[in-house]
Structure 1
Amino acid sequence: ADTVILYDPWWNPAVEAQAMDRAHRIGQENPVFVYKLITENTVEEKILAMQERKRSLAEGIYDESKQQGQWKLSADELSELFTHPAE
């Protein structure tokens, strides 16, 4: 397979990375295409933002110069995941 379609985001970005990496397996000679489907103004969009914060946090663990004291989610951040935006 040379195409990966991610229909819904995982809380843990490493799970998605593993799915993408499997397409880049040994012997893969074709270019790999990854499509990540995210619907605007849904919890999926918020999970995507959380993944970015987790990725940044993980980078901070490995690179002390990037550490900014963001080691956990605040109550507001957790609540934001499940709050529907005002229209």
Structure 2
Amino acid sequence: MSLENQVKTFKWISILEGISFLVLLLIAMPLKYIWNAPEMVRLVGAAHGFLFIAYIMGAVFLFKPLRWDLKTLLIICVSSVLPLGPFYVEKKYL
């Protein structure tokens, strides 16, 4: 896979991870705790967990090819736990 394709794939993972995190926080969690409907948390939580792992792995795999320094890698990884962080990474670093 070419570097260009790897970056494109990571962009998509970043966007999907950000969306899944927002859906988890803004839709699934209120459904669970306000309306006592935990099913959505299981579904969205599993998807978000998979995307979170793919995001971190993608960042690590792109670390050397994109010549990021450790500070940049740390910012990218920390951004994964901020609600809008993956969108910031996608715009600023990719």
**TM > 0.5:** no
Name the TM-score, length of structure 1 as normaliser: 0.32
Larger Rg: 1
For CA contacts below 8 A with separation 6 or more, give which structure has more relative contact order.
2
The structure carrying a bigger strand percent of its residues is 1
